[in-house]
Amino acid sequence: MRIAVVGQPNAWSTERLAAALREAGAASLVVDLGACAIRLPEPAVYHDGRPLAVDAAVVKKIGDTAGGWAVRERLQILRHLEGSGVPVWSGPDRIEAAVDRARMTVELVRAGLPVPETVITEDVAEATRAVERFGSAILKPQFTSQGRGMQRLDPSLDLPRLLARHADQSPGPFYLQRFVKHPGRDLGVAVLDGEYLGAYWRVAGHDQWMTTVLAGGRYECADPSDEVIDLALRAAAHFGLLFTGVDLIESEEGYRVLEVSAFGGFRGLLDGCGIDAAPLMAAAVLRRAVGR
């Protein structure tokens, strides 16, 4: 069986999943969507100039989508591959619902899940009012992960100027979320094929409000309550992804769902809990492929 691992060549998690599939007995190759093309009206997807001949594909990453422009194109390539008869996990429609931060949050609210107060708007005046109302807000890009590009704003700043500059540099609406006073950590819950896999804390570095490793944070093993696990499973179930991480934060009113990752990460589970998710994800992929 030949499985395409859609991801970033030489990236640790992509290569780890490809290796795990090989260790499980499948042939695997890493596919960079940036090196792919569709030649309409042909049904095939071309990779490095040749038709991509695989039995299934598993998506670990779709590449650098920080600017957002590549998301639709690369998801369309996955749709074309799926339309040619190759099963793709997670499916492009499911990825699309989670990869855009604004849509992901709207979907969480539609599912009745608790989220921090959030304002999504193109209007600088409305965005300014949101920061003033929240007292402290996080301005988040739509298509980044691990805290990249996030800014903390408060009413003491020259908000109209800052927001106008942000609009010039970052196409798309403002995504503003009330800053949640947290105890220096937030929670990541990993879900594989609808089942709880494990959980870890992201603990903020000294004098940092962001908990990500890029901001100096660290991973620690967590043992969340059944209630919190159930909340994470409900959030994951709404998106139906093969593998995901659900990020939650403690607030005075209880846990709030920050994000459901379109792809999920391996590092927090491994460094925080000693759980290697790659072979577990590979096994899930092969179960699906054999069961077709």
> pLDDT at position 285, please?
97
Nearest Cα residue to 54 out of 85, 19, 90, 20: 85
CA 132 to chain centre: 29
Same-domain check for residues 143 and 230: no
Here the CATH number for the domain that contains residue 265 is 3.30.470.20
Q: Are 176 and 118 in contact (CB under 8 A)?
A: yes
For the beta sheet containing 36-38, the strands, ordered from the edge strand earlier in sequence to the opposite edge, are: 36-38, 45-47, 50-51
> pLDDT at position 144, please?
67
Q: Are 238 and 246 in contact (CB under 8 A)?
A: no
Q: Which residues of the chain have pLDDT under 50?
A: none
> pLDDT at position 65, please?
63
HSE-CB for 240 with a 13 A CA cutoff: 8
Domain boundary among 39, 62, 94: 94
Structurally, the chain folds into a number of domains equal to 3
What pTM was computed for the model? 0.92
> pLDDT at position 146, please?
65
> pLDDT at position 145, please?
67
Residues 135-192: tens digit of each pLDDT: 999 999 888 666 677 899 999 999 999 998 888 887 779 999 999 988 889 999 999 9
Same-domain check for residues 213 and 124: no
In a domain? residue 14: yes
> pLDDT at position 216, please?
78
- Going from the C-alpha of 283 to that of each of 25, 56, 57, 60, 242, the distances in angstroms are 10, 13, 13, 15, 12
> pLDDT at position 67, please?
59
Domain hosting residue 52, numbered range? 2-94
